[in-house]
Chain A
């Protein structure tokens, strides 16, 4: 069966510090991968998605970036965090064109102070 991992679970970072969140998927090959953010009291905002290694699509202009160095690894990064980057970050995977369903990881709570 497929499993998705995210770490860390919680993170407190000062403004201006760098960020690296990691997501890995087990039990499947060539998944689509997604990064979402849920701000307090808000819906799910798609940040980036990837249909293959090195292929990244950005949905929202911001100071975040994403990379996919391996087939089942997706990384969300920032060089300098802003207060507005605080939120709950979710990684998800899907089987691409075979199905619409996306399956989410446990999330990372990021607080920028």
Chain B
């Protein structure tokens, strides 16, 4: 049972444009959501997170939006840069849970 889903395995975006990565979840207990970025042969690095008490969180070029009624979150990268080319994972958890549930990832390619 895939509780966190990233339905787009890949995405290509022109440099300078906006990249939008999507994530859906099914477990209504999830109340905290995270995005990680992963380069090949490296460990994922934490990018940005959002609590369910918010619907938006920004950090520089990265903004995460949460739509609790739709059980959907998205990561916006503006403007997209070549160094943003990587695999992006969304993850979710809930209060009292020591674990993260990860999606299967979306490979983002920024076209110069």
A-to-B contact residues, CB < 8 Å? 32, 34, 42-44, 46, 49, 51, 59, 88, 90, 92, 94, 96-97, 100-107, 109
CB of B43 within 8 A of CB of A43, answer no
Smallest beta-carbon distance B47→chain A, Å: 10
Taking A100-B49, A100-B93 as contacts, is the C-beta distance between A46 and B44 under 8 angstroms?
no
Given contacts A88-B41, A104-B43, could you give 7 more A-B pairs where the C-beta distance is less than 8 Å?
A42-B104, A46-B102, A59-B99, A97-B98, A100-B32, A101-B46, A102-B100
**A100 vs B90: C-alpha distance when bound (angstroms):** 13
- A-B pairs with lowest CB-CB distance, top 8: A104-B43, A43-B104, A44-B102, A100-B32, A100-B93, A104-B44, A107-B43, A105-B43
Nearest-neighbor residue (CB-CB) of B45 within chain A: A104
User: Do residues A96 and B98 form an inter-chain contact, with CB atoms below 8 A?
Assistant: yes
Task: Write out the residue numbers on chain A whose beta carbons fall within 8 Å of the beta carbon of B43.
Answer: 90, 92, 104-107
B60 interfacial contact with A, CB 8 Å: no
Instruction: List residues of B (4-51) whose CB comes within 8 Å of A's CBs.
Output: 32, 34, 36, 41-46, 49
Which residues of A have CB within 8 Å of B103?
A: 43
* Contacting pair B99 A46 (CB below 8 A): yes
Q: Tell me whether A100 and B100 are in contact (CB under 8 A).
A: yes
Closest to B36 in A: A104
What is the distance, in angstroms, from A88's C-beta to the closest C-beta of chain B?
7
* Chain A residue contacts of B34, Cβ below 8 A: 100-101
- Smallest Cβ distance from A34 to chain B, in angstroms? 8
Can you list 24 contacts pairing A with B, beta carbon distance less than 8 Å? Answer: A32-B98, A34-B99, A43-B89, A43-B102, A43-B103, A43-B104, A43-B105, A46-B99, A49-B99, A59-B99, A88-B41, A90-B43, A90-B44, A97-B96, A97-B98, A100-B32, A100-B34, A100-B93, A101-B46, A101-B49, A104-B43, A107-B42, A107-B43, A109-B41
Residues on A with C-beta less than 8 A from B102 are: 43-44, 46
Report whether B42 and A106 are in contact in the complex, using a CB–CB cutoff of 8 Å.
yes
